[in-house]
Amino acid sequence: MGGSETAFDNYALSYDADFTRSSVGTLQRRRVWNYLKKKISNQTHPEVLELNCGTGEDALWFSKNEFTVTATDISEEMVGVASEKLTGTKTTVFQSEIQTVYGKLKNKKFDLIFSDFGGLNCLSPQELKTASLEFHELLNKGGRMVLVVMGRNCKWEQFYFKRKKDLGSAFRRKSKEGIEAIIFDQKFSTWYYSPDELVHYFSENFSVNAIKPIGIALPPSYLNNYFRKHPLQLQVLDFAEKILGNISSLSDRADHYIIDFTKK
């Protein structure tokens, strides 16, 4: 676990203020929830396993919509915040990194595996191959897997860092190697994957239902301070997102993309 666990432990108490309840974070998450409302039913997929649940905002949404949720996160502090937020719901929350979830839950089956906002980007290519096998085993027949992943070609990020004359950061997602990320002075590795790459790693065990951009018009969360002062601009971008967010070919150009699989 190491650096990533400590980094997210340190981030736990400020995460909701910095992202979950921020203007940009709220709009991006709403796009994910809108997809889930349209495509995932609590009648056909009632048992949810959420990976990298963070402070439990998505688990709370699932619970309010009558799903039964098992939520995990690498950070003990994140799990603590989530557990408090989810008090009184049909949700089980426990600490686990994605790589060890299967060993802890291999005797249980789920109808949906869900991971929001880049949790799978903490896995190396070899770990993704292993995850494909393990997630397949954890799902019931006809089970779904909905992942929100950071792609390689985010146009917002390239524009922002080019303006700052930081070309290394502008094109950091292009690297095939793990990129060093830093949160509260803690370093850990992040890998970026195009939709085609993710399909490749999961294709033996899963078929693809849909791929959609999340944050193609809406900006990345690190631009929230600017757009908090310019709410009308953000409203225009949110309107554009509702149109452009339906164009699958734009997925890798967005801040994130949502990819929806079914177990073979």
- Choose among 234, 195, 191: nearest CA to 212: 195
Residues 101-108: what's their mean pLDDT? 96
Lowest mean pLDDT among 86-100, 115-129, 185-199, 201-215: 185-199
**CB contact at 8 A, 148 and 32:** yes
Q: How confident is the model at residue 3 (pLDDT cuts 50, 70, 90)?
A: low
**Three-state DSSP class for residue 39:** helix
pLDDT of 184 > 80? The answer is no
Task: Please report the pLDDT score of residue 38 as a whole number.
Answer: 97
Superfamily of domain 3-263 in CATH is Vaccinia Virus protein VP39 (3.40.50.150)
Q: What are the tens digits of pLDDT across the range 202-244?
A: 999 999 999 999 999 999 999 999 999 999 999 999 999 999 9
Q: What is the pLDDT of residue 253?
A: 98
Could you tell me the two tokens for 145?
């897997």
190-196 mean pLDDT: 97
Reported as a pLDDT band with limits 50, 70 and 90, residue 118 is: very high
Above 90 in pLDDT, residue 186? no
Instruction: Indicate if the pLDDT at residue 94 is higher than 80.
Output: yes
Q: How confident is the model at residue 1 (pLDDT cuts 50, 70, 90)?
A: very low
The position carrying tokens 């809108």 is 34
Residue 10's pLDDT is what? Answer: 77
pLDDT digits (tens, 9 = 90+) for 11-53: 788 899 899 999 999 999 999 999 999 999 999 999 999 999 9
Percent of the chain with pLDDT over 90: 90
User: Domain boundaries in the chain?
Assistant: 3-263
pLDDT of residue 130 exceeding 60, the answer is: yes
Cβ distance 213 to 250 under 8 Å?
yes
Neighbours of 80 (CB within 10 A): 18
Q: Where are the alpha helices (DSSP H) in the chain?
A: 3-15, 23-39, 57-64, 76-85, 98-105, 125-138, 155-163, 167-170, 195-202, 224-228, 231-244
pTM of the prediction?
0.95
Residue 4 has what pLDDT? 67
Residue 145 has pLDDT above 80, yes or no: yes
* 181 has pLDDT over 90: no
One-letter amino acid for residue 56 of the chain: G
Is the confidence at residue 2, as pLDDT, over 70?
A: no
For residue 67, name the pLDDT band (cuts at 50, 70, 90). very high
For residue 229, which amino acid is it?
A: K
For residue 92, give the nearest of 101, 79, 106, 75 by alpha carbon: 79
114, containing H or E segment: strand 110-115
What's the pLDDT at 107? 94
Instruction: Inform me whether the pLDDT recorded for 74 exceeds 80.
Output: yes
